[in-house]
Structure 1
Amino acid sequence: QERKLIQLIVKRVIDGVNKMSVNVAKYPVGLDSRVSDVMELLDLQDYRSRMLGICGIGGVGKTTLAKAIYNKLSSSFEARCFLFGIKETSKKFNGLVSLQKQLILEVLNDKHTTIASVDEGINVIKKRFHCKSALIILDDVDDNGQIKALAGARDWFHPKSRILITTRDMHVLNLQKLTKDDIFQLEELNDEQSLQLFSYHAFGRSKPIAKYIKLSENIVQSTGGLPLTLEVVGSLFFDKNSLEEWEDVLKTLRKNQPKDVHQSLRISYDNLDLTEKEMFLDIACFFIGRGKENAIYMWKDCNFFPIIGIKVLLHKSLVKIAGREDEFEMHDQIRDMGRQIVLQDRSPGLRTRLWNNDDIFDVLQHQT
C-alpha cells in the first residue's frame, strides 16, 4: 500500500513538471549564458512586479530563449502562462479575448469566468491577478494594444510576478516605459557557437567532419550568426555525402535565401508602411557602409520623412547606425532578404533598383 502511494506521488510530481515545461531547441547552443543574463535582469529577489523585454531581429532566438527561461523558473511561481504567437493570434476574430481567456485559465485555474470583450478581460486581470505570483510570457508582440489587453500595468500583478515580452519592435517596449535595464537586446551567435550549431544540424555532431571544415566555415560566415538560418541551412547539408553535392547546394544558397529564412525575416518588412519599405530597400541595395546624410537628402527630395523612417527601421532591428559618420549597417541575412524582394522582377530592366555591375551594364546597353 505504501509503495503504491509513493508511486502515485512520484507520478503526480512528474506530470506536474512536464505540464510546466515547454519544448526548447534540440541543440540549445549559447543558451545558458543568455538565460543567466536575463535571470539577472528579472531579479527574483526583488519584491516588486517586473516587466522585461527581449528584443531582436527575426530568427535570432527570442522565443527559444523565453522557453528556456520559462522552464527554468516556472517552479518558482504559484502560477505560470506562456502565450505563444500573440501577433498572429490577435489578428483572428476575438483573438485578444481568446488570449485573455487562456491567461485567466492558466493563472487562476478558472474555467467559468465568461469574457465578451477585451475590456471585460482587462477588468478580470486587474482585479484578480494580484493574489498570485505568476510568470507570464507574452511571445511575439508587435502592437502596444496587445500588451494593454494582457499586462497593461505592473500594479495589476502580485509583487513577485514577472512578465517577459518578446518582440522585434523596440518601440513596443518603449511605450511601456521600460528602461535599458528592463530590455535584453538579443544578439547573434558568435563564430564558434555558429559553427557548433551548424555542425549539429549538418553532421549530427558538435564539429564538422575534417574534409568539410573549410566549406562549413565559409557557409557559417554567410549566416551572420542567426540560429534559424544555421538550423535551416545546416539541415540542407545533412544527407549530402560528397564535396560535389556540398558545392552544388552552396551555389544555390548564394543565389537564393532559403524560403523559411526569407519568410521569417520578411515579417518585419511587411509591417512597414510604403515609404519605410522604400527606404529599407534603398539601404539594402545601396547604402550599407555609407553615412546617412546623403540618403536623408535623397529621401527628403522624394517627399519621405527620413528621420522618422530611420527611427522605425532602428526600432524594428532592420538596420543599425554606427561609426564616425553614422554609417548604415545591416545584417547580411536582412540585406539578402531585401535584395531578394527587388529581384522578384526577373528582368533587370523591370527592377526598381540595380546594384550589380553586370545588370546595370546590360540594361544600359540593351535598354531591357
Structure 2
Amino acid sequence: MPLFVAQYPIGINSRVEAIILQLEIGSDDVRMLGIYGPGGVGKTTIAKAIYNKILDHFEGINFLENVKDKSGTFDGIIQLQEILLRETLGMNGQLKVRSESKGTVAIGNILHNKRILLILDDVDKLYQIERLIGGCDWLASGSRIIITIRNKHLLQTLSIRHSTYEVKGLDNHEALELFSMHAFHKNKPKEDYSKLIDQVICYAKGLPLALSIIGANLHGRSEMEWKSALDKYKMISDKDIQKVLQVSYQELDETEQDIFLDLACFFKGLYKEWAGPSDPTLAQQRRGISA
C-alpha cells in the first residue's frame, strides 16, 4: 500500500526526483542514501513520496517510521525488527523475536535473498542501523536503504557505499503557497494580508512544519488576531523555530490544547498508561510533550 504523504505536497516533487536520480534504481550494486536536514524541514514527507514512487521496483519494501522514539522504549528495537521481518516477508500473522541479536541474524538471512527497499525514518544512533540491517554486506544486489537523519556525520562510520541529500527549506514562492493553503485554503493569499504574510514567511524560515502549523492556527482569524500572534513571534530568536511552534500551541484554547496533547500521547504510544483524565502518569507525560 502507498503511504499518505501530505495534505498539500508543495515543493516535494523536485526534491523527490533529485533523490531518485542519486539512487540509480537500475544499478545492481547496494546503495544507501541519507536524507538530512533540521527538524520540520520535510525529510519524512519526502521519504514517503520516494517510497510511493519506487516501491514497484523491489521484492520487499518497508518503511520504519520514528525509529529514534520507538527504539527508546522497552523492547523498542525488537518491535521494529518484528515489523521489518513481517512486512518484508509479507506476513499478516504474529512473528516473535526473542532478542535483538536473534532478530538481527534473522533479518540478515532475509535481506540476503531479497532485493529490498528499506526506509529508516528519524535515526539518531548507529546501533539502530546495525540492529535493523545487520552487516551492510548482507543486503541483496540492487537493494536500496534510505535513512532520514538530522546529522549526516552519522553515516560516515558505515562501510557501505552511501550518498547524502540535504533537504533545504522551501523558497519564498513555495513557502507562500503552502502557508496560503493552510491559512486561506487556496494557493494565493488575500492581498490585504500581504505585509503580515511576509512576516510569517520570514519567521518560518522555509520550514514546512512551521508554515503548516502557523497557517492552520491563523486560519479564519481576524487581522487584529494575526497582528497579536505576530507580535509574539517577534520576541523569538530567528534560530529557534521550536518556540514559534510553541506560541502557536499556546494560542489554542484549553480544550484544543487537551485534544492536541491527547493526540500527541496517542501517537507516541503513551495512551497505554491512560487511566483517566486525572491520571497523574498521563498528566506528567502530557506536560513533557507540551514542553
- TM-score tier by shorter-chain length is 0.7 to 0.9
Match for residue 103 of structure 1 among 84, 92, 99? 84
Post-superposition Cα deviations, 1:294-339, rounded to whole Å, max 9, x if no partner, equal: xxxxxxxxxxxxxxxxxxxxxxxxxxxxxxxxxxxxxxxxxxxxxx
Aligned to 1:245: 225
Structure 1 gaps of 5+ residues are: 1-19, 264-343, 345-368
Distance 1:245 1:76 in 2: 50
Aligned to 2:286: none
Distance 2:246 2:71 in 1: 23
AA matched with 1:138: L
AA matched with 1:71: N
Aligned to 2:255: none
Aligned to 2:30: 49
Aligned to 1:82: 63
Distance 2:246 2:165 in 1: 25
Give the superposition deviation at 1:159. 0.9
Match for residue 158 of structure 2 among 147, 170, 176? 176
* Structure 1 residues 118 and 224, CA gap change in structure 2 (3 angstroms): same
* Structure 1 residues 112 and 238, CA gap change in structure 2 (3 angstroms): closer
Is contact 1:80-1:135 (8 Å) kept?
yes
Aligned to 1:254: 234
Aligned to 2:212: 231
* Structure 1 residues 178 and 213, CA gap change in structure 2 (3 angstroms): farther
Give the superposition deviation at 1:259. 5.7
Distance 2:59 2:160 in 1: 25
Is contact 1:60-1:187 (8 Å) kept?
yes
Aligned to 2:123: 141
Distance 1:29 1:113 in 2: 39
AA matched with 2:118: I
AA matched with 2:235: K
Local SS of the residue matching 1:29: coil
Give the superposition deviation at 1:171. 2.5
AA matched with 1:213: S
Aligned to 1:115: 97
Aligned to 1:156: 138
Post-superposition Cα deviations, 1:221-273, rounded to whole Å, max 9, x if no partner, equal: 121101111111111210113x222211211222356668359xxxxxxxxxx
Is contact 1:34-1:65 (8 Å) kept?
yes
1:69 partnered with 2:58: no
* Structure 1 residues 154 and 262, CA gap change in structure 2 (3 angstroms): farther
**Identity, % of aligned positions:** 38
* Structure 1 residues 258 and 203, CA gap change in structure 2 (3 angstroms): farther
* Structure 1 residues 178 and 211, CA gap change in structure 2 (3 angstroms): farther
AA matched with 2:245: V
Distance 1:258 1:54 in 2: 21
Give the superposition deviation at 1:115. 2.0
Distance 1:261 1:222 in 2: 11
Please show how residues 219-368 of structure 1 align to structure 2 within 5 Å: 219-241=200-222, 243-255=223-235, 261=245
Cα RMSD (Å): 2.1
Is contact 1:125-1:156 (8 Å) kept?
no
Give the superposition deviation at 1:143. 0.2
Structure index of larger Rg: 1
AA matched with 1:254: K
AA matched with 1:106: E
Local SS of the residue matching 1:166: strand
Is contact 2:214-2:245 (8 Å) kept?
no
- How many residues end up aligned between the 2 structures? 243
Give the superposition deviation at 1:184. 0.5
AA matched with 2:166: Q
Match for residue 106 of structure 2 among 115, 124, 136? 124
Aligned to 1:5: none
Is contact 1:50-1:154 (8 Å) kept?
no
Give the superposition deviation at 1:177. 4.6
Distance 2:200 2:94 in 1: 54
Give the superposition deviation at 1:128. 2.1
Higher mean alpha-carbon deviation, 169-178 vs 60-69, is at 169-178
Post-superposition Cα deviations, 1:1-37, rounded to whole Å, max 9, x if no partner, equal: xxxxxxxxxxxxxxxxxxx211111111110000001
Is contact 1:126-1:156 (8 Å) kept?
yes
1:216 partnered with 2:197: yes
Distance 2:224 2:103 in 1: 59
Structure 2 gaps of 5+ residues are: 248-290
Give the superposition deviation at 1:187. 0.8
Aligned to 1:320: none
